Amino acid sequence: MTSTSESPPDRYAVAGNPVAHSQSPFIHAAFAAQCGHALQYERLLCPLDAFLPTIQAFAASGAKGCNVTVPFKFEAFAASRRRSPRAELAGAVNTLRFDEQGWWGDNTDGLGLLRDIEGNAQFPLKGLRVLLLGAGGAAAGVLGSLMVAKPAELVVANRSVAKAEALVQSHQAWAQAQHVRLQACALETLPDGAFDVVVNGTSASLSGAGLPVQDHVLRKGGLGVDMMYGPSAQGFLDWTRQQGGQARDGVGMLVEQAAEAFQLWRGLRPDTGPVLHALRARLSTPG
Ligand code: NDP
């Protein structure tokens, strides 16, 4: 797997639009250094109407794979010839490996979130009530993995309720297999009672919109996770603390999902702890 001194380093990228803000190059460079692998990892800005040709050209140039971010995860799913079961369940792909027999599509977002919640934050989900806000690519990517942790109940709430219903429908058989009560609802019609965990998978704060839920949705002592990080996550994190909850941004998920992608490409899993620590320090440094 490791490049030799005669061969150029293997090349990877994060493909998205926008992509300039992505921390993935930093994370993968740190993983590579830790594992002693020589690789190059770049940002690949794809025109909104030209995801596939951009990725095809990248693969044809000899690259080995790429991560896929907003808004192309559904297109990446369609572009994969073969997919992991978790990508099939999600209907979305965030990691491509350019195999000779056809592109392999995977989705590492869900396991990344789960590892961050249950591993890094030490907050086991078994038997709890979990609320997932949003029904876009990020929510689709994590729903199946959240159920592996066997919460008692999982509610998917979205501004466009039809999208939440479609997501729940496509995951209903999986929910039954995991013995999880799964239901969809609108943001305004959440079922009664506070939730133990609220995961914000919406991009509401990017548009300057307020919090998508009312107070008292999260129980005191519960966990509030925003998949976003940086200033965009601040409103949700503040709200979580006002509810008496434990607040967590999306940096841990980002590093954990990247580690899964690295393992898929390079055959070994890096130690995420030091990289998460370094990334938090980097993000808290002005400029
Ligand atoms: P999408 O564009 O696919 O979906 C956006 C979601 O946000 C939809 O459910 C949408 O609702 C909802 N939404 C947007 N604006 C509002 C609003 N004003 N009020 C309420 N709901 C709103 O984006 P993704 O799902 O791909 O990504 C969501 C966020 O998660 C992004 O910010 C992304 O950066 C982050 N993310 C972080 C990861 C990490 O590793 N930390 C990994 C993946 C994503 P509707 O359907 O009604 O339009």
pLDDT tens by residue, 189-246: 998 889 999 999 998 877 767 677 888 899 999 999 999 998 889 999 999 999 999 9
What was the pLDDT predicted at 210?
A: 67
- Find the 204 Cα to ligand 1 centroid distance in Å: 7
Q: Whose CA is nearest to atom 6 of ligand 1?
A: 202
Structure tokens given for 9: 């380093």
Q: What is the mean pLDDT of the chain?
A: 94
Which of ligand 1's atoms lies nearest the C-alpha of 109? 42
Radius of gyration of the chain (CA): 19
Question: What residues contact residue 84 under an 8 Å CB cut-off, 6+ apart?
Answer: 104, 105, 106, 107
What is the mean pLDDT of the segment spanning 60-70? 97
Tokens encoding 107: 């989705």
Mean pLDDT value across residues 19-25: 95
Give yes or no: 220 in active site: no
| Ligand 1: lining residues by beta carbon, under 6 Å | 70-71, 109, 134-139, 158-160, 163, 201-204, 206-207, 209, 212, 227-228, 250, 253-254, 257
pLDDT number for residue 1: 47
Nearest residue by C-alpha to atom 4 in ligand 1: 136
Give me the mean pLDDT over the 2-24 stretch: 86
Determine what percent of the chain is predicted with pLDDT higher than 90. 89
Determine which one of 64, 73, 163, 220 is catalytic: 73
In the structure, what pLDDT confidence band is assigned to residue 69 with cuts at 50, 70 and 90?
very high
Q: For ligand 1, atom 15, which residue shows the shortest CA distance?
A: 204
Separation of CA 3 and ligand 1 centre (Å)? 37
**What are the tokens at 1?**
């797997």
Residues recorded for the chain: 287
